[in-house]
Chains A and B, each alone.
Chain A
Amino acid sequence: MASTLDAPTPPPLPQPTWLQSLGQWLRQPGFISASPVLIFFLIGFVGPLVIVLGFSFLPERTFGFHGDWTVDNYVHILSESYWIPFVWSFGLATATVACCLLISYPVSYGLARIFGRWAAPVMLLLVIPLFVSENVRLFGWYLVLLKGGGILAGSTQALFGFDTGTLLYSPGTILMGMVYVYLPYTLFPTTLGLSLVPRDQMDAASDLGANRWQIFREVELPIAMPGILIGSLLTFVLAVGAISEAKLLGGANIVVVAHAILHEFTYAQNWPLGSAISMFAIAITGILVIFIMRRLDLDRLLGRK
């Protein structure tokens, strides 16, 4: 017994080096199976981003990777009035998300709980506009809101004898266009989120004395929240990059971020500055997305928990 206790402890097993660990990880069947997709992803998605990032550190108006690296483009963005397009884009995107949530929550509730067999036809009606190009749909709105012979102004003139005047070229009209275009991206994830709320839990809460507000706040909203957050996130990211609404319905009276980037890549022929504005927009959006994703429990959303 004593001999057992006195026996020297065996030497620790040699720890694999960093390189060996990486080698083991790379030999995993999962990684090997995923590698074609990973390569495609790196070439098709990460590659262009790296090029844009590289361009953003080149001197102004250069068209190839030559010349000294510089941060002048970023300094230029911070010292000039580029904050205005950023405020417009992020402000309009936030307002769009808020409006879309206000509209989509009751509609989603109806689709998930009330419409029954009518839910599918209603859903179809909401999906059909997505088959038509965004620009065509916005041009339709342009024709509706135009002064004089526009559909709305012409109709009110013919039917009631008054002209609505101009309804275009204002931030309000841009917001209306953005809500119209991006509503489905909030609506469908919200509907999915609300359809995951078990009826039993709401009934149980009700049986235990919770009122409608308490059921909404304590049961329905927390369970539906991942869907709502995903819808909001999707809408926000798309809306930050929106350009057509401001150009067509807003008469370019405000310049959004995508428009500022477009200026630099086309008529200015200043690819490095355009790249730097793009990287700024990506960085700000990325930070916001990471912040929201940290609050999102994907396992719970996908029913794995």
Chain B
Amino acid sequence: MENEKLLKQLVNSDPIRNAGPTRRNVLKGMGAGAVALGAGMGLPRMAAADERALAMLTWDGYVDPRVLDGFTDQYATEVKYELHTSDPDSVNKLRAGQTKIWDIINLNNPWAREMMWPENLIVELDRARFEPYFDKMLPMFKAPYKWAMSLDEQHLLGVCQRVDTFDFVVNTDVISAEMGKDEGWDMFNNPDMKGRYGILAYDNWNIMHMCMGAGLHPFKMKTDDQVDKFEATARAWINGAKLISDDFVAINLALINGEIDMYFGGGTYSISAARMDGLKNLYHVVPKSGPADGKGGINWIELNSVVNNPTLHSKAFDWMEYILQPDTSYYVGTAGGFLLPVGQLSDPAVLAKFSKEELDSFQWDEFDYRIEHAVEYDVVPDYNRLYDIYTAALREKA
């Protein structure tokens, strides 16, 4: 039975993640071969205890070497990962059978509660073990925290860490932050702004922002008339954009050099590194009001969950606890040049690790305002219909 389990583990390891024939990989491969052979020949069980690497499907916050190496040092387990293309793309990977490959998945808030748990793609966490961590987080995460719980509020589905809003960015040398907050999404409806703004093409976010611009709640089902409104806004905004790019470095360069004066979608996620380099005129704006229950901003929360893997890594739950430690929280909040707030910033020990410049890079002083004026990210119910309109507008851009 042990041998069969071991062989399944070997079969389920994803070769894509073992990138390239490095010396280490070759040795590991030889080791794995020896283990498999040993298992078959009845070698001592100790040889079979050498488990595969922990496999993680994630956004960029958890691939920082400080995060990965810290776990390896502490738990003697390597971590392999793949970065998402988009939230739904990764959910579809699990749906397509990749639960056999991954142990950990890190996604934005709605997917665990509304899709992955009902579809049996993730497993629950031990509430007694993990809920005390929620009590130490920012007040918004007080247990039982809605987005970490199943719809029936009985099962804990993950732990939260990175959190912020994602709306639009202005160059304050041209447009004041106050003006952006007051005018909100109508800034992009103003014909005078045609050719003066860009679109950061994170398409699923663009759909939500265009709903806001059309005066629609992005997370509520739309009538045909409302869809027509969405289409009019999508076409006007796309036709009025000077550039559309999925590269925030390119779009920030365009903003800095005067090609454009503002862009959506954007936020601390896209500008914190530039602000850290001294470009404080790049500013993330959350409108003071909007059509989503009176709010104009959109608040995302990343949730880390354990995949329902039939051969789950024995250290998967330890990873969940590891990322909530003060040092790791700081590393995640400053990972790979993305400086972002983490839920653990309410802990003085974590807050003390961030320098004043780092806090300023993600506009920490305005964090409460942003959360207060933002609706929580959710699944767009008529996404497919709206996305087809969006891509048609892109193709037919005048």
- Asked if B245 and A252 sit within 8 Å, CB to CB, the answer is yes
Q: How far is the CB of B115 from chain A (nearest CB, A)?
A: 12
Binary contact readout B359-398 vs A (1 if CB under 8 angstroms, 0 otherwise): 0000000000000000000000000100110011011110
Chain A neighbourhood of B254, CB < 8 A: 146
Which residues of A, 110-129, contact B by the 8 Å Cβ criterion?
none
| Contact A166 B384, beta carbon cutoff 8 Å | no
Q: Min CB distance, B249 to chain A, in Å?
A: 8
B10 nearest CB across to chain A (Å)? 22
Residues from chain A with Cβ under 8 Å of B253 in the complex? 142-143, 146
Cβ contact within 8 Å between A253 and B243 = yes
Shortest A145–chain B CB gap in Å is: 10
A142 to chain B: closest residue by CB: B250
Question: Which A residues from 70 to 110 make CB contacts under 8 A with B?
Answer: 80-82, 84-85
State the CA gap A63–B94 with chains docked (Å).
Answer: 11
Residue in chain B with minimal CB distance to A169: B243
Query: By the criterion CB–CB under 8 Å, are A247 and B395 in contact?
Result: no
Flag if B244 contacts A269 (CB, 8 Å): no
Is B49 part of the contact surface with A, judged by Cβ < 8 Å?
A: no
A81-B395 in contact given A168-B243, A169-B243, A253-B244 (Cβ < 8 Å) = yes
Whether the Cβ atoms of A267 and B204 lie closer than 8 Å is yes
| Chain A residues with CB below 8 A from B126, complex form | none
B154 within 8 A of A: no
**In the assembled complex, B256 has its CB within 8 A of some CB on chain A:** yes
For A168, give its contact among B201, B203, B256, B259 (CB under 8 Å): B259
Q: Of the candidates B243, B387, B392, which one forms a contact with A252 in the assembled complex, judged by CB atoms under 8 Å apart? A: B243
Considering only CB atoms and an 8 Å cut-off, how many residues of chain B contact the other chain? 33
Contact of A251 among B88, B243, B387 (CB under 8 A): B243
List, in ascending order, chain A residues with CB within 8 A of B246's CB: 247
A304 to chain B, nearest CB (A): 39
- Please name the residue on chain A nearest to B392 by beta carbon: A81
**Contact residue among B203, B243, B258, B396 (Cβ-Cβ distance under 8 Å from A267):** B203
Q: Is B257 in contact with A150, judged by CB distance below 8 angstroms?
A: yes
**Cβ–Cβ contact B259 & A63, under 8 A:** no
Measured CB to CB, the closest approach of chain B to A86, in angstroms, equals: 10
Flag if A269 contacts B88 (CB, 8 Å).
yes
Question: In the bound complex, what is the Cα–Cα distance between A247 and B243 (angstroms)?
Answer: 9
Tell me the interface secondary structure of chain A in the complex: loop
Q: How large is the interface on A (under 10, 10 to 19, 20 to 34, 35 or more residues)?
A: 20 to 34
Residue interface mask B111-131, A partner, CB < 8 A = 1: 000000000000000000000
Within 161-215 of A, Cβ neighbours of B (below 8 Å) are at: 166, 168-169
Structural contact, B258 and A148, CB atoms closer than 8 A: yes
Q: Which residues of B contact A268 (CB under 8 A)?
A: 384, 387-388, 391
Determine the chain B residues whose CB is within 8 A of the CB of A267 once the complex forms: 86, 88, 203-204, 387
Looking at A85, A263, A267, which has the most chain B CB atoms within 10 Å of its CB? A267
Partner of A147 from the list B204, B247, B259, B388 (CB cut-off 8 Å) is: B259
Q: Name the residue in B247, B259, B395 with the highest tally of chain A Cβ atoms < 10 Å from its Cβ.
A: B395
Complex Cα spacing A263 to B244, Å: 14
Minimum Cβ distance to chain A for residue B17 (Å): 20
B257 touches A146 (CB 8 A): yes
Residue B2 is within 8 A (CB to CB) of chain A in the complex: no
Q: What is the distance, in angstroms, from A258's C-beta to the closest C-beta of chain B? A: 13
A251-B203 CB under 8 A given contacts A146-B254, A147-B259: no
Q: Does B89 contact A (CB under 8 A)?
A: yes
C-alpha spacing A85/B396, complex, angstroms: 9
Residue with the greatest number of chain B CB neighbours at <10 A, chosen from A252, A255, A270? A252
Contact A148:B88 (CB < 8 A) given known A142-B253, A248-B250, A252-B243: no
Contact B257 A266 (CB under 8 A): no
B1 lies within 8 A of chain A by Cβ: no
**Given A147-B259, A263-B391, do A81 and B396 touch, yes or no (CB 8 Å)?**
yes
The 4 closest A-B pairs by CB, nearest first: A251-B243, A148-B257, A252-B244, A267-B203
Add 13 more A-B contacts to A84-B396, A248-B247 (CB < 8 A): A63-B96, A64-B96, A146-B254, A147-B258, A148-B258, A166-B259, A168-B259, A252-B201, A253-B243, A254-B397, A267-B88, A268-B388, A269-B88
B binding-site residues for A, Cβ under 8 Å: 85-86, 88-89, 92, 95-96, 198, 201, 203-204, 242-247, 250, 253-254, 256-259, 384, 387-388, 391-392, 394-397
A and B contact pairs by CB, cutoff 8 A, 12 listed: A61-B384, A63-B95, A64-B96, A146-B259, A148-B256, A148-B257, A150-B257, A166-B259, A248-B245, A251-B198, A252-B394, A270-B384
